[in-house]
A = this chain, B = another copy of it.
Amino acid sequence: MPQETFFNLPDNKRNLIISAAMHEFSKNNYKTASINKICKKANIPKGSFYQYFTDKLDLYVYIMSFAIEKKVKFFSDVISKFNTLTMFKQLRLLFVKGIEFAKKYPLYAELGEQFSKEHDELAKSAVIKAGDKQAQSLFMQMICNAKMKGEIDGNVDSFALCLLLKTLNSTVNEYMLEKSGNACCVYSEEELLSFVDSLLKIVFYGILNKT
């Protein structure tokens, strides 16, 4: 956690530091992100930085928790409506909300994606990975629910489906953030939504020709 000194800072100065750190951590992973660059971007001397934060990890945890909290709050209201919906509609809502989030807060979304790919064990564990675990258990909960209701085939491997949904979610996110290295890129929101529908249709109905 940052020192009191940091929170006593005038709002604009504090926000400038946060903004600079968010930009740096959204474009780089923990190791390659540079404190020097953050200081320069925020127009503060190195010494000041270390008056506000104990070290690099301190800042990283602060920024990432920030982004994760933002995302969790953003999704909380749609999740509360889940018990009235079918799993298809739940998933669709989740994906659509994800796209909305990435559009509204692209920086936070990028931070989340960056964190989900973080390799540094120290940094990863320090952020408690509460957010990530939450997402996985959310999918698992949805699957169990849908199975109990008889919505989806009970023979479907829950774990495989959970992983599939998780990777799909990440894929859609990357797509939204235009980070995808694929040649053919989806740009308009309409196209993106129909892309989500295509994915969900595959998962729900399968690709086999039934005729």
A positions within 8 Å CB-CB of B: 31-32, 117, 124, 129, 132, 136, 150-154, 156-157, 159-161, 163-164, 167-168, 170-171, 181-182, 184, 195, 198-199, 201-211
**Residue from the set A167, A209, A210 with the largest chain B CB neighbour count within 10 Å:** A209
Task: Output the least CB separation between A209 and chain B (Å).
Answer: 5
Q: Are B209 and A207 in contact (CB under 8 A)?
A: no
The answer to whether A205 and B202 touch (CB under 8 A), given A31-B32, A168-B164, A182-B163, is no
A13 CA to B3 CA, complexed, in Å: 53
Residues A157 and B208 in contact, CB atoms below 8 Å apart: no
Which of the residues B152, B159, B184 comes within 8 Å of A208, measured between beta carbons? B152
Which residue on chain B has the smallest CB distance to residue A31?
Answer: B32
